[in-house]
Amino acid sequence: MMKATKGVPAIAAVLVAVLVVASTTAPRVRGEDQLVRQLSNGFTATHAAGATSAFEPLLYAPSGVFAFGFLRVGAASLDLAVFHLPSSFPVWRATPASPGDWSRPATLTFDDGSLVLTDPDAGVLWRTLDAIGDTVALLNTSNLIVRRYDTSVPTWQSFDHPSDTLVVDQNFTVSSPPLISGNRRFAFRLGKTFMALQMEFYGGRSTPTYWRHTALEAQPQNATEPPVYGRLDGRGFFGLYLAGGGGGEQKVDTLSFDTFVQNLTGVVFRRMTMDDDGNLRAYYWTDGGKDWISDYKAIADRCELPTSCGAYGLCVPGAAAQCQCLLDSDTAGTSPPCHAGEETADLCASGADGVEQVDFDVVRRTRVSVAYKEVLPSLETTNKTEAECEAACAGNCSCWGAVYNGESGYCYLIDFPVETMVYEADDRKVGYFKVRRLPSMKRSRMSPAVIAATAVLSLVLVGLTAAGVCSGYRLWERRRRKRAGMEQELVVGPGPYKDLKTMGSLTKP
């Protein structure tokens, strides 16, 4: 990763295009040079179907650094976003459950106190819930708010509904929606006394943890203690706090960034983002900067990231971590994955007698472990044998694999599709993995009678084919001989060829 970012979601529009759109198509009021700073009830804006720019601004923060508007996500999806204009990065997205289509017009309205995004065919795509207000504004903090004229307290704000990013002074609580990576595969969640990074499987029905940090001074045994909440601080750290009496707060832990002790004066904006590779990172932007600079990452080693080598991958630690394949020990390289596609369904199927496992093959490997085994479920007792560990997973359709430590006797169960394992030079560390059998790999389940009938039919077809070949050959041979006889008659007929020519000449007058 560059001293600057790696894994920052790319937006198709570059800054120049955004500024051009801002100067030519942005809504304006009163003066031709005055950008819209507030939306009032009755506001309506329609997305220009198939617009060439990836961002259509509708509302600006007073500083002009942030704008709110239509955003193209990927090749063709439509979303609403708060955009950091200098970097072309969306610090907040509405993320509708059913995204709109960029190639079709969509309408954003602010009426009856709610912001509503609608599609002419799909209807309502997204709206602000439980909010009644008179105006919409975008603050210099990047917070999009709905509020009434007679109060400064918002009735709805984007800070309460983060997408994949937190910014300075934005509280992140147990009740906040998790930060979900742009590819929808990873999440950052807060518990009562801890924060965790989790994988998202089966649409969020399974969320195995691969990184966890517990607040140092929190007391998990105290049931009456309020839960912690987090906040990104402009001085260069992420703090965990407890709400105290009298409206105060108590800091119970601090995650310091690289710049915390440097007292940088050029930092103008910070963010913390759940990146697409599963890592939680903090970045900062400097005045006049050209890219985000990475300031913190929760996981330092590539091999400790859950999917760095893809499905059924094996990561070999080192200065330049290498990827191998669990399914083929001779396959090495740097490009994952080694198993086609990511698993989207479990191994459990409903059979005639209830739940049963779908077909799978088994892969066993030595010298393998998992980086986050401390947060995986394990058998309650130690001193298990390798066979007992394997059996505990083999008969359980919700188990995709098991990692056994022959030294300690611990057996760790993997209850989600197998992702990147880690190589460890210890023959006592053994892995057992299930691999869903593809349709082309499924073995025949025909009965012996059907197999016998199929064999007989195959022999009959072979016999008929041979008979047809013989009959065709005899017919061809008969015709060949007939043609040969006719040619012979022409050659040995009455007189040589020169006599025929002479006879023809005698007929002329």
Ranked by mean pLDDT, the top range of 191-205, 237-251, 292-306, 407-421 is 292-306
pLDDT band at 457 (very low <50, low <70, confident <90, very high): low
CA atoms within 13 A on the CB side of 77: 15
Per-residue pLDDT, averaged over 168-193, amounts to 94
Please answer whether residues 314 and 422 qualify as being in contact, where contact means their C-beta atoms are separated by less than 8 angstroms. yes
> The CATH number of 1-157 is which of 3.40.220.10, 3.30.499.10, 2.90.10.10, 2.40.50.140?
2.90.10.10
Residue 498 has pLDDT above 60, yes or no: no
**What average pLDDT does the segment 403-411 reach?**
90
Q: Do domains 1-157 and 162-300 have the same CATH topology?
A: yes
The H or E element spanning position 488 is: helix 448-491
First vs last C-alpha separation in the chain: 105
Range 379-384 average pLDDT: 65
- Residue 73 CB neighbours (<10 A): 20
Contact 272, 165 (CB under 8 A): yes
Residue 270: exposed, middle, or buried by beta-carbon count in 10 A (0-12, 13-18, 19+)? buried
pLDDT value at residue 160: 96
Distance (Å, whole) CA 208 – CA 415:
8
Q: What is the mean pLDDT of residues 445-449?
A: 49
Phi, psi values for residue 240, rounded to 5° = -110, 130
339-441 has CATH 3.20.20.370 classification: no
- Average pLDDT of the chain to the nearest whole number: 80
The whole-number average pLDDT for the span 131-157 is 92
Per-residue pLDDT band at 18 (split at 50, 70, 90): very low
CB atoms inside a 10 Å sphere around CB 374 = 10
Q: Give this prediction's pTM.
A: 0.77
- Encoded tokens for 492: 């040995």
β-strands 313-316, 421-423 pairing = parallel
Query: What mean pLDDT comes out for the span 192-218?
Result: 88
162-300: CATH number: 2.90.10.10
Give the C-alpha separation, 240 to 249, whole Å: 10
How confident is the model at residue 293, as a pLDDT?
A: 95
Report DSSP letters for 307-369, one per residue.
TTT-TTEEEE-STT-EEEETTEEEEEES---SSSS---S-SEEEETTEEEEPPEEEEEEESEE
Question: Can you tell me the distance from the alpha carbon of 304 to that of 68, in angstroms, rounded to the nearest whole number?
Answer: 36
Average pLDDT of span 414-424:
92
Quick: pLDDT tens for 30-70: 333 578 999 999 999 999 988 889 999 999 999 999 999 99
pLDDT score recorded for residue 318: 87
Report how far residue 299's alpha carbon sits from residue 420's, in angstroms, rounded to the nearest whole number: 15
Confidence (pLDDT) at 96? 93
- With CA atoms as reference, report the closest residue to 167 among 3, 292, 49, 262: 292
Contact yes or no for 410/416 (Cβ under 8 A): no
pLDDT above 50 for 442: no
Quick: pLDDT tens for 316-328: 998 888 998 888 6
The mean pLDDT value for 421-428 works out to: 94
Cβ-count burial 282-292 (b if 16+ within 10 Å, e if not): bbbbeeebeeb
Q: Convert the pLDDT of each residue in 71-98 to its tens digit.
A: 999 889 999 999 999 999 999 999 998 8
Structure tokens at 439: 């349709």
**pLDDT digits 0-9 by tens, 221-240:** 565 678 899 999 999 999 99
CA-closest candidate to residue 94, choices 10, 172, 158, 160: 158
pLDDT of 505 reads: 41
209 near 178, Cβ under 8 Å? no
Domain boundaries along the sequence of the chain = 1-157, 162-300, 339-441
Which of 4-13, 160-169, 311-320, 322-331 comes out lowest in average pLDDT?
4-13
